[in-house]
Amino acid sequence: LLHERLKPYRLILASQSPRRRELLRELGLEFEINALSVDEDYPADLPADQIARYLSEKKADAYLPTLSDKELIITADTVVICDDAVLGKPKDYADAMHMLMSLSGRCHQVVTGVTLLSAQKRVSFSVSTEVYFAEISEDEARYYVDHYSPFDKAGAYGIQEWIGYVAVHKIEGSFYNVMGLPLHQLYKELKAF
């Protein structure tokens, strides 16, 4: 089993996200949290679907100076893409409202990039999921922002929260990817690591 294979490593999740912690815990793995602060800037000409992977690699690079032989770092970044526009975490209330209304009645992509880093090896990958939103009213968007404060979420929403129950009518791809960690692919890559 995977937790047996990873015993030689000190597994470290480099993320502040409570959702990523919960998802990784559900894989039955023991890990520590150590999230360094890394700026999330990326080249302006980088294609939208490559940004999440680029940022996960950038976050992993921050651990290189202190990485020990027995550590395995997991970094991740998630972006929402609608009409080639990247929706990161909202800056404020108005930005969150604008993002939610731009997703209303439309399909968008959620891309999560993940990097696994040890002293001996690095593996990066990204997973994309299509998410279909029903039309929502401004009152519904306001209710969600008021009650769930989605300021730490790409695209200003969490699929596992109220807005996901009422607005997401279909997805194509990994549900857990939309939550911020593509578990099936991560499990596969960790087994091969």
Cα atoms in the Cβ-side hemisphere of radius 13 Å centred on 76: 30
Residues 6+ apart with CB under 8 A from 5: 190, 191
**Structure confidence at residue 29 (pLDDT):** 93
pLDDT value of position 3: 87
Q: What is the pLDDT of residue 118?
A: 97
Residue 77 is a catalytic residue = yes
Predicted confidence at residue 42, as pLDDT, reads: 96
DSSP E strand stretches across the chain: 10-13, 32-33, 71-82, 85-87, 107-117, 122-133, 168-172
**What pLDDT is attached to residue 22?**
95
Determine the pLDDT at residue 1. 87
Distance, in Å, from the CA atom of 160 to the CA atom of 156, rounded to the nearest integer, reads 12
- The pTM of the full predicted model, rounded to 2 decimals, is 0.94
Which of 78, 46, 58, 83 lies closest to 156, judged by CA? 78
Q: Which of 39, 61, 69, 77 is catalytic?
A: 77
What pLDDT, on the 0 to 100 scale, is given for residue 92?
98
pLDDT digits (tens, 9 = 90+) for 31-75: 999 999 999 999 999 999 999 999 999 999 999 999 999 999 999
Q: Which residues of the chain have pLDDT under 70?
A: none
Q: What's the farthest any 2 CA atoms get from each other in the chain?
A: 53
